[in-house]
Structure 1
Amino acid sequence: MPTPDHSNGAPCWIDLMTSDTEKAKDFYGTLFGWTFQTGDQEKYGGYITAAKGGKTVAGMMQKDDSMTGMPDMWSTYLRSDDAAATVRAAAQHGGQVYMEPMAVPEQGRMAMIADVTGASVGIWEPAEMKGFELAAEAGSPAWHELHTKDYAAAVKFYQDVFGWDTDVMSDTPEFRYTTLGAGDAAKAGIMDASGYLPAEVPSNWQIYFAVEDADASVEKAVSMGAQVIHAAEDTPFGRLATLADPTGAMFKIVADTGQGAQAATEA
C-alpha cells in the first residue's frame, strides 16, 4: 500500500494519552502487531511512536501530574498548513483552545482544540513527520468519526475552520451522517449522536482500527484486560466492535466483510 495522502483538513495522526505506557505497549503490540520506538526525553518528552511492518501508525504519551482526573483517551489530529491560523479560526468559530501551537523539533507543530460542540481534536502542521504511513490495513487506523450532539453546528465548524468539502451520506431522523469527501474517497465522518450520547458524555472523536477478524480480535483484547463496550456486529461497512483498553481508553475495530464499497456506492 502506498503512504496515505494526507490532504489539508483530513485526519493525519492519532495518539494515545495513557496512564500506563508499558501496559499500553503490551496490549496494542499484541493486539495489532505494533513495534515501538521511544523518543529522546529532553527533545520529545519520551513520546512513543508505534509502527506496523516498519510504517508508523500512531503515537503514545504518558500522562503527567497535570492531567489528573482526565481519562485515558485516543485523539485524532487533522492536518493544517498553518496551525496558528487554524487555531485562530477555531476560536473565531466558537471552539476552545486547549493547547496553542507547539513546535516538535524537526517534526512539525501541534495544537489541541475543542470544536464548537465540545469534542477535542488535534491539529498537526507537518514538517519532517507527515502523518501515519499506513491506513486501512490490519493493525492501522481505518476510519475517523466525530459523534456530536449538535450535528449542524459541527458540520459547519469543520467546513469553516478546516475547509472540509463535505458530502451528505444520509439525512434521516434515524441516521444523519456527513463525510469529508464522498464515497470511497471519504476520509472522515460526522455522525448525529444527539439521540444516544448520555448527558455526561461529551461529543467526541472515535478511531477505528482495521483488523482481519473482529471476533478473534475482541477475544484476544478481552484476554488481555480490555472491556467490550459494544459487541461485534455486522454493518454495511464491515464487522464492528467497540472496546476499552486495560486502562479505559476507548477505540473501535472494523473487519472488512466486502460490503463497504457496495454501501458507499449505494449511499
Structure 2
Amino acid sequence: MPAPGPCGWVGRMRKILTSASVIAVIAVAGFPGASADPGATSMEARTLDGSGNDPGHPGWGEAGTLYLRVTTPNYADGVSRMVAGPSPRYISNRVFNDVGQNLFSENDVSQWGWVWGQFVDHDIGLRDETPAESAPIPFDPHDPLEAFANDLGAMGFARTPAATGTGVTSPRQQTNTVSGYLDGSAVYGIDSTRLEWLREGPVDGDLTNNAAPLLLPGGYLPRADARGNPVTAPSMDLFGGLAGTPQAARIAGDVRANENVALLAVQTLFAR
C-alpha cells in the first residue's frame, strides 16, 4: 500500500491537532462565560472538580458524584451481589482474540488512536477504589496467560465499592472520583493541593503566588522527589518497577499517568 502523500499527512495532523486543541483550550481558558449580553467575550474560570460548570445543574459532572447508567443495574439479588456467568477472562480472551487476526487498522488509524482515547478516558472517569472488595478471577488451564503465571492460582481483582447509601436496600451504584467533564483535569488535577505542587513556585497553600506554567524540569513531568521529600508529593498509582522506586514516579494531574510510556508522553505534551 503506497504511503500517504503530503496532503494526506497534513489532513491527518489537522484532525489530531483539532482534537488536541479542543481539550487544550478548555483546560487553559475554560468555555466562554455565560452572560446576559450576547456580545460579551469575557472568559469564566472553571472549578477544578467540575462543580458549577452547568449553572442549571451545578452538581452535574462534579468529582465524587455517581456514574450515570445507560440501563438499569443487574445484580443477582437485585441490589449488590454479582451475577453468575462465564469467567471475565473467558469473555476477555474472546472479545479481544488476536490469534491469527489482522492487527492493523482497516481505517489506517495509528497507535495514536488508543493512546488519545486512554488520555481522554482518564480525564473524565476514575472509579473509587477504597475500600476495595476482593473478587479474584480464577485461572483457567486454557487461558494463554496461564503459561506465564501458573503459580498464582488467581488474578487479583478489586471490585469497585458501593457508593454511600447504595447496595443494601437499593441497587449498588459507583462513584466517579474525578470531574466528568472534558476539562483538562488529567493535566491539572481536581484539587488545589495537587495543582499547587504541579505549578512553578512555592508550595505554601497559596495558589496566588504560583506561576501559571507547570513545573517541567528539563521539559519533562517532575519526579516525585522534584521538590525534595517524595513523601510530600501528590499520590500516583505505581506500576511495575515504580512500586519499588516511588521517588522516580512522574507526577501529573491524573494518578494513572505512569501506566505506560505512551500515556506518559501525552501527559507530558499537555503539561508543556
TM-score between both structures, scaled by the size of structure 1: 0.27
Q: More strand per residue: 1 or 2?
A: 1
TM-score between both structures, scaled by the size of structure 2: 0.26
Q: More helix per residue: 1 or 2?
A: 2
